[in-house]
Amino acid sequence: MKSNNLFYISRNYKFRNSAASKPKMDCELILSKNGFKNLGLKQSNYPSSVIGAIISFTSIVIGLIKLPRKSVFCMQYPLSKFYRLVTTVASWKKCTIIIIIHDVKFLMGKHNNAAKEIAKFKKAQYLIVHNESMNDWFLQNGYKGKMVNINVFDYLYPITDNATEQNQESKSVEVVFAGGLSREKSEFIYNVGNLKHKNYTLKLYGAGFESTEEKEGESNLSYQGVFSPEEIISKISGSYGLVWGGSTVDGCSGPFGKYLGYNNPHKTSLYLLCGLPIIVWKKAAISKFIEQEKIGITISSLEELDSVLDKITDSQYREFLKNVERVSSQIAEGHYLSKAIEKVLLDVN
């Protein structure tokens, strides 16, 4: 495929400490590295919703006007207000449409009509999906195009000697959890303190933490604060990164837990970039990648965590770290999206 026939349209990404914008911003940069050209305005980060919407709309209109007929056009989903406009014009211009999927609203529990959302994806000839579980869901719900699994999301960051230097020599095990810490999103956090065995500290990074009533020294929860996507890499330290969701310690429940069965949480990539092996729910879709790459452990319940951690030998842990270093270097360079794009373009060609 000729590189002068590959395009995308950038827009404004509202910067937030939740890191909601970083995955999409990184995808644009990786597309550029792979020969795609931005037809719109330069990527921006205005926090104002009004200014941001105006910039995004202007960029999209300019980009669609400039979009050549029968070219290859890559976009990201969700795109909210502008999705129909973009897909309609790209289809009218007979472009090959590639969609990089970040979230599926139906699977998140934010949409109750799977067929209606699937209809949106049918505009695209190619989907870049998270994993086999999400791939299967699209097939079962009538998507007829071709799909490529990304396996894990990239997290662009310049690797330095300090980026993966962690507190591994400490005798106490420190398990890191980064993300939304409110009871609505992560109720399980507050139930960890009720476990009889807790020979580890759960270090929390993010917004919404509600302090517990336990006396100082009795809780194994350690709140570390809120940091930007760039700052947090230098702030996180620990032994493992935890991928969990829902209200209970006994498996992942509710909409957040259900979604783990299909998506690749971006926090997984963050942990790996910080040099942390992963602890993940056994039924999470990302667990297959963790096991295949030998970069962590899978468990059915946090009730098991103490005993599982006790059985990890020093040599096993060093092997985890070695594999994490390999995978994290690929994540930091945009390897996984680049490979997915390469597979799509080989097929297009």
DSSP letter assigned to residue 296: E
Is 51 within the bounds of a domain? Answer: yes
Roughly what angle, to the nearest 10 degrees, separates helices 314-333 and 335-348? 50
12 with 119, same domain: the answer is yes
Mean pLDDT of 196-202: 79
DSSP letter assigned to residue 215: P
Is 325 within the bounds of a domain? Answer: yes
Between 40 and 46, the higher pLDDT residue: 40
**55 pLDDT tier (thresholds 50, 70, 90):** very high
Expressed as residue numbers, the domain containing 290 is 173-331
* Separation between Cα atoms, residue 291 and residue 144, nearest integer Å: 30
pLDDT on residue 240: 97
195 with 149, same domain: the answer is no
Domain count, the chain: 2
180 with 319, same domain: the answer is yes
CB atoms within 10 A of CB 145: 15
136 with 227, same domain: the answer is no
181 with 308, same domain: the answer is yes
327 with 340, same domain: the answer is no
pLDDT on residue 169: 46
Decide: pTM greater than 0.85.
yes
Mean pLDDT of 171-193: 86
Mean pLDDT of 248-267: 88
310 with 340, same domain: the answer is no
pLDDT on residue 167: 45
Report H helices in 187-244: 188-192, 232-235
Quick one: CA dihedral 23, 25, 27, 30, positive or negative?
negative
State the average pLDDT for the chain: 89
Is 286 within the bounds of a domain? Answer: yes
* 148: three-class secondary structure by DSSP: strand
Residue 214 has pLDDT above 70, yes or no: no
pLDDT on residue 163: 44
86 with 208, same domain: the answer is no
**208 pLDDT tier (thresholds 50, 70, 90):** confident
pLDDT on residue 164: 42
192 with 105, same domain: the answer is no
137 with 230, same domain: the answer is no
Report H helices in 6-74: 22-33, 49-66
CB < 8 Å & 24+ apart, contacts of 257-263: 257/281, 258/107, 258/109, 259/107, 259/108, 259/109, 260/284, 260/285, 260/286, 261/133, 261/285, 262/104, 262/107, 262/130, 262/131, 262/133, 262/134, 262/137, 263/103, 263/104, 263/107, 263/130, 263/134
299: domain CATH number is: 3.40.50.2000
- DSSP assignment of 77-144 equals E--GGGHHHHHHHHHHTTPEEEEEES--HHHHTS-S-HHHHHHHHTT-SEEEESSHHHHHHHHHTT--
**Which of 58-62, 137-141, 153-157, 209-213 is predicted least confidently?**
209-213
Mean pLDDT of 273-299: 96
Residue 228 CB-density burial (10 A; 0-12 exposed, 13-18 middle, 19+ buried) = middle
Residue 203 has pLDDT above 50, yes or no: yes
**151 pLDDT tier (thresholds 50, 70, 90):** very high
Is 162 within the bounds of a domain? Answer: no
Nearest to 262 by CA among 282, 285, 295: 285
85 with 108, same domain: the answer is yes
Q: Are 242 and 177 in contact (CB under 8 A)?
A: yes
Name beta bridge partners: 100. Answer: 76, 128
226 with 279, same domain: the answer is yes
